[in-house]
Amino acid sequence: MENSVLNEIPINVFIILAETLEGWKNLNSEEGKDVLMKHYAWGANLKANGKLILAGPTDFDLTSTGKINPIGHTTGLIMLNVQTREDAEELAFKDPFHTNGFRRNLVHSMKITMTDELIYRTLEKQIK
């Protein structure tokens, strides 16, 4: 019996969950802006090399309005198209937010088994 809910073939990726640390600096400060720009350059390099699937802040609505303190929370998610956990960790640990003690990047493997059909076809082309 065919299951029409699941993807034809699972897609294996790695997820970086970024936990904000005590060393977090306000991104409006000079140091915060500098590290943010380096973080964006790091992400742009991943994207240019076909290793970035998606990335962005999490709970931005809560942290940006001061409803929660970001310290101790996961405040970023990055999905990578790489072959091994070691590859993912090598990239994750080079993120300027990680190297400057703003956040700790934790790498997790993920098997994408259900997606919207358009997203599945797009990922299927990108991840080979």
Q: What is the pLDDT of residues 7-53, one digit of tens each?
A: 888 999 999 999 999 999 998 999 999 999 999 999 999 999 999 99
**Superfamily of the domain at 11-126:** Dimeric alpha+beta barrel (3.30.70.1060)
Using a cut of 0.85, tell me whether the model's pTM lies above it: yes
Specify the amino acid at residue 90: E
Q: What is the pLDDT of residue 2?
A: 56
Write the CB contacts of 24 (distance below 8 Å, at least 6 apart in sequence): 70, 71, 102, 103
